[in-house]
Amino acid sequence: MNAQVSTSADELADAVVAVEVDVRFAETDLMGVVHHAAYVVWFEVGRVAWMAAAGMPYTEIAAGGHHFAVTGIHASYRLSARFGDTVRIHTRLAELRSRQVKFSYELRRVADEAVIATGVSEHICVDLEGRMTKIPQTVADRLWAGAAALTRHPNEAASSH
């Protein structure tokens, strides 16, 4: 019996990792607010933080010869983020299957806790040549175990730096 069996989708929902980013001047556009493509990069900051907090750093996945290639991005923008704002990215592991992984995101403006955007990213596991492959069992096990640990001990909002 592996870790996967003992962690339900409901439990995954509780394994949330928060990380904060300060809006960079370079991330704004002529509308005076953050450009929508920057949020896609923030999602990435969020899932990298999630994996680090779960004890399965992405650098180790890559060092092991695998990548989580992005196959889908869905973003809903509700409010603008502005230069001077700090944004907190709440990331969850939304789904983990043998060959696919999905993360979900909720972005909040720290000043007033307003939700400014939500999103989902979908990934497949690929090897270094870009060929689709199964997620290595040790990687999957560590992600599930990390999710379980995060559920029991929610992390504090760290800064991504």
State the virtual CA torsion across 34, 40, 46, 88 in degrees, nearest 10: 20
What CA–CA distance (Å, rounded) separates 159 from 21? 7
Look at the block and give the residue holding tokens 């005076």.
32
Q: Is 36 in the site for a second copy (CB under 8 A)?
A: yes
Q: Is 32 in the site for a second copy (CB under 8 A)?
A: yes
Residue 41 structure tokens: 């990069």
Binders of a second copy among 122-141, rule CB under 8 A? 130
Give 127's strand partners. Answer: 66
Q: Which helix (H) or strand (E) holds 52?
A: helix 36-53
Of 11, 20, 95, 141, the residue at the interface with a second copy (CB under 8 A) is: 20
Q: Min. distance of Cβ 103 from a second copy in angstroms?
A: 13
Q: Is 10 in the site for a second copy (CB under 8 A)?
A: no
Query: Using CB under 8 A, which of the segments 8-16, 25-33, 133-141, 142-150 binds a second copy?
Result: 25-33
Of 64, 65, 72, 154, the residue at the interface with a second copy (CB under 8 A) is: 72
Between 7 and 85, whose beta carbon lies closer to a second copy? 85
141 is catalytic: no
Q: Give residues with Cβ within 8 angstroms of 43, minimum separation 6.
A: 73, 75, 89, 91, 103, 105, 119, 121
What CA–CA distance (Å, rounded) separates 65 from 28? 35
Count CA atoms closer than 13 A to 10's CA, side-chain side: 1
Q: Min. distance of Cβ 3 from a second copy in angstroms?
A: 25
Of 33, 54, 139, 140, the residue at the interface with a second copy (CB under 8 A) is: 33
Active site residues: 29
Q: Which residues bind a second copy (CB under 8 A)?
A: 20-22, 24-26, 28-33, 35-37, 40-41, 44-45, 48, 57-59, 62, 67, 69-78, 80, 83-84, 86, 130, 159-161
